């Protein structure tokens, strides 16, 4: 079978796998942002009682392999009566993992805003949370855009790991075609090219967003 014919035959299956890959990446990014912002705030609020749980969670998720986390959620939790479908388990695990990394990016961006901004907001009567929401976070988001974009690109690649729990994303779709055609090299190269093109597309979106935010904040 010629390579062109092989790729044409594989295209529908790869397209379906690509759809699942994008679903995992975008859904996990959204969940990770919500969790990451919550953890970031928990680590900077004036009440230290919430610092340690957030710090321990971040350390745990960043210090253990994502593959192990997937196994714990999908294979381990059913032993205590908590069971998820492969799709839900994959999105949940990627979201929990991404949230830990995003929290550090967001926390660093928030702490990077000068203390004078806080003082100026307090001087006009804003509370701590109002200052955070209305003054600090809008500035921090602009700084955190590159790190958040890098996390999204990482999620696109990390989604390949959910193939181990039988979700037919791009990697597992590629393996299914190889099992029929016995042509691993061109098909794995095609999968690699798809991941690369996706990464380039999101990098381009990142640069465009950075330019827009830069113009919006120019004096």
Structure pTM?
0.90
Q: Are 91 and 24 in contact (CB under 8 A)?
A: yes
Q: Distance between CA atoms of 143 and 106, rounded to whole angstroms?
A: 9
Percent of the chain with pLDDT strictly greater than 70: 97
Q: Within 10 Å of residue 74's Cβ, how many Cβ atoms?
A: 23
Q: CA 160, CA 90: separation in Å to the nearest integer? A: 10
Q: Which two tokens stand for residue 193?
A: 């090219």
Angle at 58 between CA 19 and CA 89, to 5 degrees: 35
Two tokens, residue 62: 């960043």
- Closest Cα partner for 62 from 151, 146, 143? 151
Looking at residue 184, which CATH number applies to its domain? 1.10.3720.10
Query: What does the pLDDT read at residue 64?
Result: 97
The neighbour count for residue 182, using CB atoms within 10 Å, is 9
**Residues spanned by the domain of 161:** 3-216
Q: Please compute Rg for the chain using Cα positions.
A: 21
Q: Residue 169: CB partners within 8 Å, gap ≥ 6?
A: 17, 20, 21, 24, 159, 160, 162, 163
Q: How many domains does one find in the chain?
A: 1
**Alpha-carbon dihedral sign for residues 186, 189, 195, 197:** negative
Question: Does position 173 have pLDDT exceeding 80, yes or no?
Answer: yes
**Each residue's pLDDT tens digit, 91-137:** 999 999 999 999 999 999 999 998 899 999 999 999 988 999 999 99
Overall average pLDDT of the 13-40 stretch = 94
């Amino acid at each position: 079978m010629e390579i062109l014919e092989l790729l044409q035959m594989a295209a529908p299956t790869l397209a379906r796998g690509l759809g699942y890959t994008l679903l995992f990446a975008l859904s996990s990014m959204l969940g990770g942002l919500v969790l990451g912002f919550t953890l970031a705030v928990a680590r900077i609020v004036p009440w230290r009682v919430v610092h340690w749980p957030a710090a321990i969670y971040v350390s745990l998720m960043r210090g253990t392999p994502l593959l192990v986390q997937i196994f714990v959620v999908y294979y381990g939790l059913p032993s205590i009566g908590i069971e998820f479908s492969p799709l839900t388990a994959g999105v949940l695990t990627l979201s929990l993992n991404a949230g830990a990394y995003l929290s550090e990016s967001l926390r660093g961006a928030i702490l990077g805003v000068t203390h004078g901004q806080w003082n100026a907001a307090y001087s006009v009567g804003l509370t701590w949370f109002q200052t955070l929401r209305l003054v600090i976070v809008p500035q921090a988001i602009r700084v955190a855009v590159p790190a958040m974009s890098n996390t999204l690109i990482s999620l696109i690649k990390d989604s390949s790991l959910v193939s181990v729990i039988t979700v037919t994303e791009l990697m597992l779709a590629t393996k299914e075609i190889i099992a029929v055609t016995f042509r691993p090299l061109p098909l794995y190269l095609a999968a690699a090219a798809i991941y690369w093109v996706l990464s380039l597309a999101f990098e381009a979106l990142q640069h465009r967003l950075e330019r827009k935010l830069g113009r919006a904040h120019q004096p």
